[in-house]
């Protein structure tokens, strides 16, 4: 069983447990459920930098990245830096995150928030809305076309945007549909965990211009972004580069200054 298969198997169990404790009707009573959406797509379309800064404590490929930071401070720092949005890892077992992180980030900044998790069930979309997310991540590698269509339509009904993550052209062709907002190309090979920005460059031509293009993983310099922008990318998801420092907000500020110089 691959790491991805183990994650999904655990996620199924986790969701069933949560459903038995907190029903959807209770999630719909959240004070955040009816808040207006803060559009990440719009921010990226209008930005020169396009940075989506991530809060990630650890990962299966890198183990511990940084577990000593206060997420409120990280969120405030990212907002001060002028990033376009913030990605919040909410998977606990493999990434050390949780939904409370999303809630605290929402209370600490006005940025568009992406709930980054392995979303496989409509229940998780209601959770995302209830805890203050503006965007959800759908990963083509773990979903069928029908599942992507169903989940994205539910997200739209809840006034959430969708970032679809792909790794190759097969996933892209399977997943392309009007209900998506942004398409992210993950430069990390899920089998080897190696990272190569050429994945973004090669796949960029296959993505229709109606979707905002986002490059994910392995972006650690302004030069990398400048090399990707001619291929139509308007969004750049950066996590480890900021999170491995003692002050991610300051790191993001310096990064954006270098990029805009």
**Residues noted as catalytic:** 54, 56, 116, 165, 186, 216-217
Q: How far is CA 204 from the centre of its chain?
A: 18
Do residues 32 and 106 touch, judged by C-beta distance below 8 A? yes
CB neighbourhood size of 228 (10 A): 24
Tell me if 179 sits within 8 A of 149, measured CB to CB.
yes
Compute the residue count for the chain. 261
- Residues 11 and 94: beta-carbon distance below 8 Å: no
- By CB atoms closer than 10 A (0-12, 13-18, 19+), residue 260 is exposed
């Amino acid at each position: 069983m691959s790491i991805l298969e183990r994650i999904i198997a655990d996620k199924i169990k986790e969701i069933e447990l949560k459903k038995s404790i907190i029903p959807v009707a209770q999630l719909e009573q959240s004070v955040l459920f009816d808040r207006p959406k803060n559009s990440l797509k719009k921010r990226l379309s209008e930005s020169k930098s396009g940075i989506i800064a991530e809060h990630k404590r650890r990962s299966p490929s890198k183990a511990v990245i940084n577990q000593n930071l206060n997420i409120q401070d990280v969120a405030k720092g990212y907002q001060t830096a002028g990033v376009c949005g913030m990605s919040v890892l909410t998977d606990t077992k493999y990434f050390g995150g949780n939904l409370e992180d999303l809630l605290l980030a929402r209370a600490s900044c006005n940025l568009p928030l992406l709930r980054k998790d392995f979303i496989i069930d409509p229940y998780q979309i209601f959770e995302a809305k209830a805890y203050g997310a503006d965007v959800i991540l759908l990963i083509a590698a773990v979903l069928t076309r029908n599942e992507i269509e169903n989940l994205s339509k539910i997200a739209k009904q809840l006034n959430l945007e969708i970032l679809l993550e792909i790794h190759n052209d097969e996933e892209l062709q399977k997943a392309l549909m009007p209900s998506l907002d942004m398409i992210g190309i993950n430069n990390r090979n899920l089998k080897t965990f190696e990272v190569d920005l050429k994945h973004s460059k090669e796949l960029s031509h296959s993505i229709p211009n109606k979707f905002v293009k986002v490059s994910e993983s392995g972006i650690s310099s302004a030069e990398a972004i400048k090399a990707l922008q001619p291929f139509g990318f308007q969004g750049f998801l950066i996590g480890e580069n900021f999170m491995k420092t003692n002050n991610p907000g300051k790191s993001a500020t310096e990064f954006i200054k270098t990029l805009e110089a």
